[in-house]
Structure 1
Amino acid sequence: MRRLGKTRRTVRNTRGGGRVAAAVCGAALAVLTALPAQAHTQRPAAPRWDLKDTGAAAVRFRGLAAVDRDTAWVAGSQGAVLRTADGGESWRDVSPPGAADLQFRDIEAFDGRRAVALAIGEGEASRVYRTEDGGKTWTEAFRNTDSRAFYDCMTFFDRRHGLAMSDPVDGKFRILSTSDAGRSWKVLPDQGMPAALAGEAGFAASGQCLVAAGAKDVWLATGGAARARVLHSSDRGLTWTATDAPIPAGDPARGVFALAFRDRAHGLAVGGDYRADQQSPQAAATTGDGGRTWRTAATPPPAYRSGVAWLPHSRTAALAVGPTGTDLTTDSGRTWRTLDTGSYDTVDCTPDLGCWAAGEQGRVARLKS
């Protein structure tokens, strides 16, 4: 699990005029929400992923931070970090020096110059790097020195305050906190953290096992135990409550892999069993009360999904991605239908509808309608 195991989410800026962005969003959302049209009605062209050439076919990108339609960061295996500023037409390798042995699984970007990247692994393999100049230089902001800890995901509430989470240490999930935009980190006390279940951990599959919405609310997704759970904190990680999720668990390869919240109340959970030869029924769930209760999707995605994101300016539309395809919901996660069968691990959208996805073999794509 730990080898697998951002909304997040990333603090985003948009560029360009508000009227242009609104027009782009309105047109694209109209296409998405019109998809369930009756057979006798002419359907609009379905949105599709426009695959970009990153030149990094040997890298698997599980970390993704979309800033806008033009700017995005991806982070992955072999210590690789790439950045684009032209909609994916070209990519700059901005990998931290000396990091080739690291596995980056999450990256959070404030804009095209400032980003924070999380490397995962046992002990000192778990690290946090930070850049303020578009990746020209990096500073190692945190290195884990506890051999029992294994950090999976990271999220930011705003430009200064963020959290990272580790699999349980001494029977409880460990939370790391920053209040200076990732320059320094400290371990939070665990008195307010419920005890972990036997075998419970997070999945470092998409950077979305720890996500935030608003100034103080954050959710943590788990698997591997007898039950999958979602933990919620309303005070930036000091105290937590745990709720069972209906996504099947009971095995180290099963559970909730990713979360997305469009506000403090409405959230989506996706997951399943990441093994290719295993079925993943009930691979999605929804909540309308901030995660206190979860309901299984009536028509879930057909297979394991590792990433999920709400479409901006929509209260009902979202995308879920995984190794076998991309699915769309237009009814807040109650039903899903497949749009694409390409392999992606993570997905992220911006207010100007710059939806991006990333995954294996250097695959990065932007949504095109």
Structure 2
Amino acid sequence: MAAAACGAALAVLTALPAQAHTPGPAVPHWDLKDTGAPAVRFRGLAAVDRATAWVAGTQGTVLRTADGGASWRNVSPPGAADLQFRDIEAFDARRAVVLAIGEGEASRVYRTEDGGATWTESFRNTDAHAFYDCLAFFDRRHGLAVSDPVDGRFRILSTSDGGRSWKVLPDAGMPAALDGEAGFAASGQCLVASGARDVWLATGGAARARVLHSSDRGLTWTATDAPIPAGDPARGVFALAFRDRVHGLAVGGDYRADQPSPQTAATTGDAGRTWRAAATPPPAYRSGVAWLPHSRTAALAVGPTGTDLTTDAGRTWRTVDPGSYDTVDCAPDLGCWAAGEQGRVARLEN
């Protein structure tokens, strides 16, 4: 579907009533794509455009499509079957950086420049206390990765050459972590960037959920409480999305299926200095969130129990699909993708 047609489809989606059952125009929906990987859970997702997307997940698996999901190529790094990939950032159809999570040497970064035909391991963590969760890039050269606190502070890894090499940044500008505070490697969205220098970090697990913000590519940070329940290792802010340097969304809750998540979303209009709880949040835990391209008010949130839509910049949400997804990403050409358990990958269709 051309970008113009997809734009019309998104317009229909944002205008859709909460309970629409009457016959009418086709309603945009997630169209599942057969990845051929039913045993893999994909928590890493990078939408390049409507034709091209990368997914990364368990069993060291990386897949890439260049035909809108009609076929998928297994481009997993060799020797990575024991790794868990939780985040992937793609610059185009050929260049991507993928993060494996875990304690000590299980946390690694790989980079490809040929569509996954070959990979180079560009970072392997050697600190037994570090556990990397997420990646984010400002542009094709500058990016960061974040580890759970080491010696009482979140650790930030930096690259200035597109992920070919990495260095640990000094932590003098990082506020002290709260007792039990950590990031969630649930969707590759616990660390997100917007513009050339701004980056935000979502946390949970402590008495309070917080969002940390840096405006100098990770050298100095400020921390703000978020109105999403915490107080337990399973609760907090799981994902962030910023449509510019000022307007952002946060989603999360309690990832345990048998636990309620009464307040799962929040918004900011001041770059994260303050956060306001959604008036009508998603009904359950959500692990991923993305703004719809070229929209100031529409976004999607996903989780194991469904997809929710907001058309008022995060103040109210309504469920539009019951399928299970862990992460969501949208490309500038209006290509929106979602991925999750049992090899599930879908593209938004009309």
Q: Would the TM-score normalized by the shorter structure come out above 0.5? A: yes
User: Could you say which TM-score interval applies, normalised by the shorter chain?
Assistant: over 0.9
Give the whole-Å Cα distance in 2 for the aligned partners of 1:183 and 1:37.
Answer: 46
Alignment of 1:14-29 (within 5 A): 21=3, 23-29=4-10
The residue number in structure 1 matching 2:248 is: 267
C-alpha deviation, 1:353, in angstroms? 1.1
SS at match of 1:79: coil
| One-letter identity of the residue aligned with 2:187 | S
Give the whole-Å Cα distance in 1 for the aligned partners of 2:171 and 2:7.
Answer: 44
C-alpha deviation, 1:247, in angstroms? 0.3
Q: Is the 8 A contact 1:299 1:334 kept in 2?
A: yes
In the alignment, structure 1 residue 80 sits paired with structure 2 residue 61: yes
Structure 2 residue aligned with 1:242, among 223, 229, 242?
223
Alignment of 1:83-98 (within 5 A): 83-98=64-79
Q: How high is the sequence identity, in percent, across the aligned residues?
A: 89
C-alpha deviation, 1:47, in angstroms? 1.6
- Alignment CA distance shift 1:220-1:143 (3 Å): same
C-alpha deviation, 1:33, in angstroms? 2.3
Alignment of 1:217-296 (within 5 A): 217-296=198-277
Question: Which of structure 1's runs of 4+ aligned residues deviate more than 6 A?
Answer: 37-43
The residue number in structure 2 matching 1:119 is: 100
Give the whole-Å Cα distance in 2 for the aligned partners of 1:269 and 1:348.
Answer: 15
Structure 2 residue aligned with 1:360, among 341, 344, 348?
341
In the alignment, structure 1 residue 214 sits paired with structure 2 residue 186: no
Give the whole-Å Cα distance in 2 for the aligned partners of 1:252 and 1:298.
Answer: 25
Q: Is the 8 A contact 2:9 2:27 kept in 1?
A: no
SS at match of 2:283: coil
Alignment of 1:157-236 (within 5 A): 157-236=138-217
- Alignment CA distance shift 1:94-1:244 (3 Å): same
C-alpha deviation, 1:40, in angstroms? 12
In the alignment, structure 1 residue 59 sits paired with structure 2 residue 24: no
Offset from partner CA, 1:108-140 (integer Å, 9 cap, x none): 000000000000000000000000000000000
The residue number in structure 2 matching 1:151 is: 132
Give the whole-Å Cα distance in 2 for the aligned partners of 1:41 and 1:92.
Answer: 39
Q: Is the 8 A contact 1:35 1:43 kept in 2?
A: no
Give the whole-Å Cα distance in 2 for the aligned partners of 1:82 and 1:27.
Answer: 29
Q: Which runs of 5 or more structure 2 residues have no equivalent in the other structure?
A: none
In the alignment, structure 1 residue 140 sits paired with structure 2 residue 121: yes
The residue number in structure 2 matching 1:333 is: 314
Q: Is the 8 A contact 1:35 1:44 kept in 2?
A: no
C-alpha deviation, 1:79, in angstroms? 0.2
C-alpha deviation, 1:43, in angstroms? 6.2
Q: Which runs of 5 or more structure 1 residues have no equivalent in the other structure?
A: 1-15
**TM-score, normalised to structure 1's length?**
0.93
Give the whole-Å Cα distance in 2 for the aligned partners of 1:299 and 1:350.
Answer: 27
| One-letter identity of the residue aligned with 1:330 | T
- Alignment CA distance shift 1:287-1:354 (3 Å): same
- Alignment CA distance shift 1:360-1:41 (3 Å): closer
Give the whole-Å Cα distance in 1 for the aligned partners of 2:198 and 2:21.
Answer: 45
Give the whole-Å Cα distance in 2 for the aligned partners of 1:301 and 1:40.
Answer: 21
- Alignment CA distance shift 1:188-1:51 (3 Å): same
Offset from partner CA, 1:321-355 (integer Å, 9 cap, x none): 00000000000000000011110000000111110
Offset from partner CA, 1:123-174 (integer Å, 9 cap, x none): 0000000000000000000000000000000000000000000000000000
How many residues were matched structurally? 350
Give the whole-Å Cα distance in 2 for the aligned partners of 1:164 and 1:189.
Answer: 13
In the alignment, structure 1 residue 34 sits paired with structure 2 residue 22: no
Q: Is the 8 A contact 1:219 1:230 kept in 2?
A: yes
The residue number in structure 2 matching 1:5 is: none
In the alignment, structure 1 residue 348 sits paired with structure 2 residue 329: yes
Give the whole-Å Cα distance in 2 for the aligned partners of 1:50 and 1:30.
Answer: 17
SS at match of 2:59: helix
Offset from partner CA, 1:189-235 (integer Å, 9 cap, x none): 00000000000000000000000000000000000000000000000
| One-letter identity of the residue aligned with 1:74 | V
